[in-house]
Amino acid sequence: QKEVEQNSGPLSVPEGAIASLNCTYSDRGSQSFFWYRQYSGKSPELIMFIYSNGDKEDGRFTAQLNKASQYVSLLIRDSQPSDSATYLCAVAISGFQKLVFGTGTRLLVSP
């Protein structure tokens, strides 16, 4: 079982819709969770991080964490074509001072 798993996609949504990106992780002791956005050929850019169960909102982005289910998600409201990118989920695995990344989900927002 991979430490961090994401559906590779692509996830296609129309402009203005809500995009829902999901991630599961294997280490029950993990405490910190991150979402990065990566445009083709570019480096990952931090979007949000979440440490506590529940929701965290920042503009059009909402991160949701459910530690019991070992599940973290990212919602993008009012999706724009400029949101088209690969979204990487990263988890700080307990006991390790590093982030482990999933393979990313490719999001396509059509005008």
Partner 1 sequence: DTGVSQDPRHKITKRGQNVTFRCDPISEHNRLYWYRQTLGQGPEFLTYFQNEAQLEKSRLLSDRFSAERPKGSFSTLEIQRTEQGDSAMYLCASSFTGVGSPLHFGNGTRLTVT
Contacts to partner 1 by CB under 8 A: 4, 8, 31-32, 34, 36, 42-46, 49, 51, 88, 90, 92, 96-104
- Least distance from C-beta 66 to partner 1, angstroms? 17
Coil, strand, or helix at residue 81? Answer: helix
Of the two residues 18 and 51, which places its CB atom closer to partner 1 in the complex?
Answer: 51
- Least distance from C-beta 20 to partner 1, angstroms? 19
The alpha carbon torsion through 97, 74, 21, 103 (nearest 10 deg) reads -20
Cα separation, 11 vs 20, whole angstroms: 9
Of the two residues 17 and 108, which places its CB atom closer to partner 1 in the complex?
Answer: 108
Of the two residues 4 and 13, which places its CB atom closer to partner 1 in the complex?
Answer: 4
- Least distance from C-beta 89 to partner 1, angstroms? 8
Length of the chain in residues, anyone? 111
C-alpha to C-alpha distances, 55 to 11, 39, 48, 84, 89, nearest whole angstrom: 22, 25, 11, 23, 16
- Least distance from C-beta 88 to partner 1, angstroms? 5
Of the two residues 17 and 49, which places its CB atom closer to partner 1 in the complex?
Answer: 49
C-alpha to C-alpha distances, 43 to 58, 79, 97, nearest whole angstrom: 21, 21, 21
